Chain A
Amino acid sequence: MDLKLKIWRQSGPDAKGEFREYPIQNISKDSSFLEMMDVLNEQLVSKGEEPVAFDHDCREGICGMCSLFINGRPHGPDDAITTCQLHMRKFHDGETVTIEPWRAKPFPIIKDLMVDRSAFDEIIQAGGFVSVSTGGVPDANAIPIKKANADLAMDAAACIGCGACVAACKNASAMLFVSAKVSQFALLPQGRVEAKERVERMVAKMDDIGFGNCTNTYACEAECPKEISVANIARMNREFFAAKVC
């Protein structure tokens, strides 16, 4: 298949970026989106041009490194997958594909399509530690946990921190990410010890970095490759309220 790519090119963090068009031919519909980008870059290198910089690592949807805002949607036109899991059969021959980086003030562009997502690491760090008893290996069922809570905590922990929620949100809000990280601890007895301080510090850090506020549009949930539920945001609001009032 032949495509017309419109890609955001920006030589550095402070450089002025612009869209450039790249026609590309004979792409297999069975190749992945990132393989198509690899083909483009090989062509650019062979022509002596600068290849397009983009983030990627595991290429199996678990590391959270790939990003890309493809035709107006984070991780492209398919639901519940990352860009590396996206295949070219989702596009049609001759289509114009616009590829942009995540756009948010807390995610500054490093180069082309790569953004600095260390803001997320700062929020995780602000959450602090989890107290655990040291010593011998604990008995498997020493701490009873409700099956429902264990499932919800696992669902929240599925967040890979890719930043699609921030990219999709019209306010560039990180509420879905932060709420998933708060929830995965808040739902388990091990996480209850520091629950109050954790939610307060993570929310404070999130505000401090300059993410937008949640207006409950639920675009984050619609675009999350791991289908993290906005019920986590409500849980974080409850946790925050309880931390302030109780």
Chain B
Amino acid sequence: MFQTFVGNIKDWELTIILSSKYLIMSNLLSLSSVAKKIWMSLMGLFLFTFLLVHLSLNLTMITSPDSDLFNEAAHFMGTNPFIQVFQWVLFAGFIVHIILGLTLQFQNWMARPSAYKVKASSEQSFFSKYMIHTAVVIFVFLIIHFLNFFLVAKGLVGEIGEVNIDGVVMEDMAGLVFDLFANPAYVAFYIIALLFLGFHLDHGIQSAFQSLGLNHPKYTPCIKNAGRLLAIVITLGYILIPLVIYFTK
């Protein structure tokens, strides 16, 4: 599968991959702790904006009476040249966020080689303690999510039907989604994974602002509340999709 995937990559895409690999390896790991955190938060906020776009498109599956609107949106995302270039920027964002997150975590573990016998909880941000754990769940989810949809749409895994909308033949993404969420095991898995995404966002959003130095006596409490609210809204929004599809489609 990997061979097919690599075979499909165009020359300019390969240039981007190789140059980003060089940038990542040579510069990213040698950054100072504060610089790593700044990049970590910038990439985190970038990925967060992607979540908003992704959710708004996906919600058309349950808000629109037929699946044409979603299929057209998916077709646009899969064929628009700007989006095709930008998806590599998005992948780079994921890679930078993951590599930095792992580097920071290993350094953190090394900074305390022997643990305390008794540790009372004094953390003020609950999910901050579990960012690496929620991240691992999200990463596993991401791989399965790719195998479920993205790689199927690209013709690398499984099979996908076609639909004809106003004379344009395109992949039946909506059909693929409806088929998957007819299986209650997948619905349950997606809901659990999305809850972990919510936990990650709950700390992540407000933490990004702090790492970027955006702390203010008046606005920081608002940022914390807004971050939590957004984490809840986004998680519920995403969870709604498999649930509604399972019970109605």
Contacts and interface: CB of A to CB of B under 8 A. Distances in A.
Contacts of A206: 33
A211 B104 CA distance: 11
Which secondary structure characterizes the binding site on chain A?
A: mixed
Contacts of A98: 117-118
Interface in B111-143: 111-120, 122-125, 128-129, 131
B36 A223 contact: no
Contacts of B124: 217-219, 221-222
Interface residues of A, number: 46
Interface residues of B, number: 39
Contacts of B215: 230-231, 233-235
Interface string A227-241: 000110111111111
B112 A100 contact: no
A219 B125 CA distance: 8
A83 interface: no
Interface stretch (B16-24, B194-202, B206-214): B206-214
Interface in B69-115: 104, 107-108, 110-115
Interface string A82-114: 000000000000000010100111100000000
Contacts of A104: 111-112
A104 B206 CA distance: 27
A217 B210 contact: no
Contacts of B118: 69, 71-72, 98, 100
Given A210-B110, A234-B215, A222 B116 contact: no
Contacts of A118: none
A238 B214 CA distance: 8
Contacts of B206: 216
B188 to A, nearest CB: 30
Given A170-B129, A212-B111, 13 more contacts: A6-B117, A19-B117, A105-B110, A105-B113, A171-B111, A171-B112, A211-B33, A213-B108, A214-B33, A216-B210, A217-B123, A234-B213, A234-B215
Interface of B: 32-38, 104, 107-108, 110-120, 122-125, 128-129, 131, 203, 206-207, 210-215, 217, 220
